[in-house]
Amino acid sequence: MSDNAKANGKKKPDYAAYSLHTTSEGTAWSRIGVGFTNKTGGVSILYDAIPKDQRIHLRELDRKAGGAANLSDGIPARKPDFEACNVRESSGDKSFWDRIGSAYSQEDGDIVVLCEVIPLSGKIVLSVPKDNK
């Protein structure tokens, strides 16, 4: 869980969110948003741009973008560490959670989010699957 201090009453992000794509010079990292660790162990992602390949790469904020990254289209042969969800608020205290993909923790601390769809709200919540708790 994050120990990031609050600045001006707002929590500092834990992650930078990137879209990665292959170029003739190697892997290009385009910053598209930020991620915040939740008390439940999940992560909320706020993004300003939609990645071309529906993959969001989260890297701890203090680590620079760049370096090797797995851009293969293969999905890991293990259960995901998180469920990617779109949370829609309704009247009162009611909300609707729709699963939109999966996310996998990497050995270097990065998180790769594989989305089947990208919500228009600009927010994705990564929740720990019930069978992982």
DSSP annotation of 55 reads E
Q: What is the pTM of this model?
A: 0.79
- What does each of the 133 residues of the chain score in pLDDT, given as a tens digit? 445 555 556 789 999 999 988 777 778 889 999 999 999 999 999 999 988 888 899 999 988 888 766 655 556 678 999 999 998 887 788 888 899 999 999 888 899 999 999 998 889 999 998 776 5
Tell me the CA distances in angstroms from 41 to 10, 30, 99, 125, one per residue in order: 19, 26, 17, 11
Domain ranges of the chain: 12-62+79-132
CATH class for the region spanning 12-62+79-132 = mainly beta
Strands 123-127 and 43-47: antiparallel
